[in-house]
Every structure is written in C-alpha cells, then in structure tokens.
Amino acid sequence: MGGQQSQQSQLNPTDPVTIGQLLSMSWSTRRLVEAGLVFAVLKDGDCLRSSRITLNNDRLCLPCLQDQPPPSHARILPVSEVVAVVDPSFAFAFLDLAWGGSTKGRVHIRLSPYTPLSQQFIVLCTGQLGISYRNTKLQPMKDHSIPGDCVSGGQYAENGGPGIMDVVGEYRMSDRAGAVIGFLGDATKAAQFNITTRSLDGGMQYPNVFGEVESGLEVVREVFEQSNNTRITVVDCGIVLSR
C-alpha cells in the first residue's frame, strides 16, 4: 500500500511540469505524459486553445492545437516554450492519414533546416495561428506537370491554401521518392505541398524540396493508389519534440 501511495504522489505532483522536466522525461513526468495530463496551451483572444503532448515510439510529440481548453487537472506549458525546443536543424513533422473509415498510419517528415517553407509547415502542423492542415484532404496526382507520381495536400482554405509567410528561399532538388515539394511564386498556393511516391531517373529532379519522408512512405503510396473520389483526410498533424 505504501508503494502505491508513493507512486500515486509522483503521478500527481502539486508542482507544475516545466519544459526542462518534460524533455528530461523523468519517471514521474513520463507517467504524466502517458496518462494524458500534460498540455501545451495558447491564449487566442478570449479562447484558450490546447494540445495534449503525446508519446509515439518514445518520441515526444505536439499534435495540432484545438479550440478547447485543457482539462482542469492538466499540467500546462505555453505552446511558445514547447515549440522553441525544436532544433531547426533536425525538425520533424507528422501527418496522420485516414480513409475508408479508419486511420491508416502516420507519416513522419524530416524538414530541411532554416527554410521558409519548413517554418510555415511547422506553423500549419501545430495550428499556432488558428489555421492548420488538420482535417484537410490529400489527393492522388495522376495527371500533373511534374514528372513522377505524387500526392497533393495543404488546401486548408477554399482558395487553395494561401501561404502565411514569404516562402521565397534557397531550396534543394531531389530525385528520390518521399521528397516533399513546395510551391513558389504563387501566394494562393504557397501552403500546398506534394509528396513524391517514386524516384526519378534520367537525371530528372523534383524542384523546391523542403522535406523528406522519414517513415510512412508506404502510407503515402497507398494514398496514390486510391481513386480520386476517395476522401483521404489528415486527421491529425503536429511536430516531433524529441529525437
């Protein structure tokens, strides 16, 4: 009984969780995260928006903020502090994809460091400005001007997903499957993206690459095989906080 009481007291400490404690992942902090009790919060006018910090394959993750306050018993951290711990040189985002009534898998994307499109992608995956990729659609692109096969996403608004920042910058090229391609030169499409599903040959390369799928490419390839009439949804998205 004494051991159970000790464990319970560690699971429900009276002191708030700090960002340092979260990253160090002590036993008691890990138990709080696993119990769904640690939230990132953002005050947006009179509304308090929040996201429960989660663990996925032992990686701390921040899913997209939602328009609801955290539970009254939650340990809370300002979302600005949580996002600030992400190393720009090693940033990861994720998309959870679903169709046919069930979630099919998570796609992890390693973002190119210090590029405007990568920074915008993080903002739209976390929903810090009230707009996000959550509940948007992905579409197989089987007839398009870019050589190769890919899926297209990012249309969070009716006019196609306008950018939220100036995304002009230096971007690399790639001939590999899993490259994440951005749109430059058209502000009405600057938040859209393509994910390639096959590699190119003959010296051809995809332009404006700002990320690469680290895991979940098989899920993206399944998306490409779906009919254009299949509703494929990003049911959640966010960023990875720890390696």
What pLDDT shows up at residue 54?
A: 97
CB 109 within 8 A of CB 115: no
Q: Rounded to whole angstroms, how far apart are CA atoms 183 and 130? A: 22
CB 184 within 8 A of CB 209: no
Domain range summary for the chain, segments of one domain joined by +: 2-84, 88-240
What pLDDT shows up at residue 7?
A: 39
CB 117 within 8 A of CB 125: no
What does CATH list as the number for 88-240? 2.40.100.10
Residuewise pLDDT in 10s, the chain (243 residues): 444 433 333 444 456 899 999 999 988 899 999 999 999 999 988 889 999 999 999 999 999 999 999 999 999 999 999 999 998 888 999 999 999 999 999 999 999 998 999 999 999 999 999 999 999 999 998 765 556 789 999 988 765 678 888 999 999 999 999 999 999 888 888 899 999 999 998 889 999 999 999 999 999 999 999 988 889 999 999 999 987
